[in-house]
Amino acid sequence: MTENGVTSRRGKVLTIDTINPSVKKVEYAVRGPIVQRAVQIEKELKEGAKKPFTEVIKANIGDAHAMGQQPITFFRQVLALCSYPELLDDPSFPEDAKSRARRILQSCGGRSIGAYSASQGIDCVRQDVARYIERRDGGIASNPDNIYLTTGASDGIVTILKLLVCGEGRTRTGVMIPIPQYPLYSAALMELDATQISYYLNEDSCWSLDISELRRSLAAAREHCNPRALCIINPGNPTGQVQSRQCIEDVIQFAAEEHLVLMADEVYQDNVYADGCQFHSFKKVLFDMGPEYSNTVELMSFHSTSKCYMGECGFRGGYMEVINMDPAVKEQLTKLVSVRLCPPVTGQALMDLVVNPPQPGEPSYTTFLKERSATLNVLAEKAKLTEKILNTVPGITCNPVQGAMYSFPKISIPERAVQEAKEKGVAPDMLYCMNLLEETGICLVPGSGFGQRDGTYHFRMTILPPTDKLKVLLDKVKEFHQHFTQQYS
Ligand SMILES: Cc1ncc(COP(=O)(O)O)c(C=O)c1O
């Protein structure tokens, strides 16, 4: 074997047969084979290849800025000032942005955003997060000691899963996750070699969560593992539902009765569009239920700078609040996060601005409010538009996009296409999405990447493309679906 002119008698240490087997089992559809092919097609188009379309429209991932959403001016001004403090003397920056930047810099080592921070996150940011939670939840106290800043919500979620997983065989930790789910959960559980316990959301009633289904899945899981946590995504990804207050109360009661840790993924808390729907945080409902619950139920909730009206995915900002965690466990959690030093300090600074935006009377307030509402209003329009157009297509049925950034319609796939997919060794909705990409340039994610009831097929699309592109996309999906159905009938 020759490599760089050096002959090695032995093969590589790390081969596909000798890597961590759990890593091989990990799947993450949002950036899976469809997306890889989409990137390749984009390259082919650039090189002049002739296709039935001139551009690839990506609606596969909840990456708002990549789809043209504009950042909030104030956020970027403060981040620019923090990154290059000489700008503090520049008269074109508003005073409130400058004072915010000074406050953040004063909390940084050596007054530089390039220094490591405390592992749990910068003190003043954690205090601001706690105050934000208090305002959001109608005054229920939040202790900054219970706030951990994270590298996006993903990092917080994986860290808590790490704390949870132990045991062997029948005592191995099981974690309840919704199906369909955001595949971070299945991937992280696979990597940690924990047991995934699937509970199915009810598509027929707008992807609601039925307690009877939680009971069913828990009872079945207790036969082969040790269920210890229940994950909820609200508003939902990929399903776009917003849970009612009653449902949240029932879930909390269930977790209390069954002695489960609750993990509430609330990264879409500002993304609520449907009339009659409202975001209720698990923390608020827990405390409204009284001390019997609020003093006992272990609740971890997660938020992020990546979603809502911010869409600042690349800064990797986030936080988690841990409630009723045993102090000795909290010590272990703090130790665990210390090993990785700290989340990106720019992300922490951004999280601070999200939880402490410009206030009435400050110079940036009006622009901030205008930008924030414009982004959320457009998302609300696109949510309605998506549902409306998809539901006009025979063979596609789509629940209202009540919140978050996705639609997860059910698609009928003719038996012949199902057979062809089987022969090719792919899921039928993968075949559908691959054909859609090749024929129209539209990049969606097959429902099989998120989990779905056997025999049903879906795709997930984001509502993030600009309205004119979204219309083109929806019209093309409509045309494609009709064509696909005829082709395989
Ligand atoms: C439900 C849900 N949780 C967590 C995340 C991860 O977000 P972050 O960028 O904060 O890690 C996402 C990203 O799409 C998500 O949809």
Band of pLDDT at residue 21, cut at 50, 70 and 90: confident
* Of 437, 352, 440, 447, the residue nearest 399 (C-alpha): 447
Q: According to DSSP H, which parts of 340-399 are helical?
A: 345-355, 365-390
Buried-state track 371-380, b at ≥16 Cβ within 10 A, e below 16: bbeebbebbb
CA of 305 from ligand 1 middle (Å) equals 9
Q: According to DSSP H, which parts of 297-344 are helical?
A: 327-339
Other beta carbons less than 10 A from residue 360's beta carbon = 7
Residue 5 predicted with pLDDT over 90: no
CA of 92 from ligand 1 middle (Å) equals 35
Residues within 6 Å of ligand 1 by CB = 62, 152-154, 182, 184, 233, 237, 265, 267, 304, 306, 313, 318
Number of helices followed by number of strands (H, E) in the chain: 17, 16
**Cα distance between residue 4 and residue 368, in whole Å:** 56
Residue 208 predicted with pLDDT over 80: yes
Contact 97, 79 (CB under 8 A): no
> With pLDDT > 90 as the criterion, what percentage of the chain qualifies?
91
Average pLDDT estimate for 95-115: 96
Query: Which atom from ligand 1 is nearest to the alpha carbon of 268?
Result: 1
- What's the confidence (pLDDT) of residue 25? 82
For the chain, how many residues are written?
A: 489
The answer to which of 16-20, 69-73, 77-81 has the lowest mean pLDDT is 16-20
CA of 126 from ligand 1 middle (Å) equals 20
- What's the confidence (pLDDT) of residue 1? 46
Buried-state track 226-237, b at ≥16 Cβ within 10 A, e below 16: bbbbbbbbbbbb
**Residue appearing with tokens 């000691």:** 145
The number of CA neighbours under 13 Å toward the Cβ of 247 is 23
Substitution candidate for ligand 1 out of 157, 158, 182, 302 with most atoms within 8 A of CB: 182
pTM: 0.93
Secondary structure (DSSP) of 79-135? HHHHH-GGGGG-TTS-HHHHHHHHHHHHTSGGG-TTS---TT--HHHHHHHHHHHHH
Residue 184 predicted with pLDDT over 60: yes
Band of pLDDT at residue 54, cut at 50, 70 and 90: very high
Residue 228 predicted with pLDDT over 70: yes
Residue 133 predicted with pLDDT over 50: yes
- β-pairing, 173-179 with 226-233? parallel
- What's the confidence (pLDDT) of residue 181? 94
Other beta carbons less than 10 A from residue 273's beta carbon = 23
* Of 239, 273, 197, the residue nearest 445 (C-alpha): 239
CA of 157 from ligand 1 middle (Å) equals 9
- How much is the mean pLDDT over the chain? 94
Average pLDDT estimate for 158-180: 96
Average pLDDT estimate for 360-389: 97
The answer to which of 16-25, 44-53, 123-132 has the lowest mean pLDDT is 16-25
Measure Cα distances from 109 to 105, 152, 296, 315, 340 in Å: 8, 22, 37, 19, 17
Q: What are the tokens at 345?
A: 């300090």
Contact 96, 364 (CB under 8 A): yes
The predicted-structure confidence for 398-427, as pLDDT tens digits, reads as follows 999 999 999 999 999 999 999 999 999 999
